[in-house]
Structure 1
Amino acid sequence: MIYSVDVRIVAPVNDTEVTDRVADAVRNVFPDAEPTHEDGRLIAETHTLDAFSDVLHEQEILDTARRVFLRNSTDEGFSFALKKQAAFEGIVNFAVGDPDELGDIDVEVRVREPDVESFIDYVAPETDEGRPVDPVREYGDRFDPEDEAY
């Protein structure tokens, strides 16, 4: 699948936090992003969610991710928030409700190609009993039938 997306990632850096640790949290789930420090927060951009999608597959949280993405989608894209501490460990944990005391990692995804729903299908495909419904079509070249995650 060919797609064109802009992903903006923003994470607050509080006085009690080490900036490099917050940057590591962002890079652990978005390795293609390079955060820069601006006015008490880290801002990063990337144009892919492939590595993030890989984590969703590995953690077997595709259904949860789809629900979060679809609930927070518009015609232009979707947004979501992640827990900073979990991200520091390389784990995706969606933030719901009130933000953590230290703040969450806020992610905005603007989709230019294809449409938003098709891109969500690509990042977090529908599942049947936890397995992607059509992993060859949805997961493209990254699908490995020998991989026990499938």
Structure 2
Amino acid sequence: MEYGSIEREIHIDAPPEVVFEVVSRPEHITQWWSDGADVEATPGAVGELVWGDRADVLPITVVDAEPPRLFSFRWCYPDGEADASAASLLITFELAPSGAGTRLRLTETGFREMGWEAAKLAEHYRDHVAGWDVFVPRLGEYAARLVSAP
């Protein structure tokens, strides 16, 4: 297996403006992905994603924020510190209007560049594939509920 990138694409029954908010604002991120989040959708902003009771805190750095079409950030820094010079994974959400909804394309890249030995690379890649298999549909369901709620 190549372990180069992970890609997922789904149609979401919500407009791009809503989906952008869902992927970029802490109060929404915590509804479909992490247990806690602190991030501002501004290029260069450093924030964090939290799982559990702060048991797992990962820094993130916003790379691009172009509402309502693009949001990307780096995460999984080797030393657990946001460091622009270090290898890290890049997550990109591309949003495009599709009928009355949005086509969301998620791409996660940078696995080979992390410098992990083969077994660790394979393990992290598999973990992220399994994670996105759960979280991308959850993201879509959550965004659709936001626009259908009274």
Normalising by structure 1, report the TM-score.
0.29
Normalising by structure 2, report the TM-score.
0.29
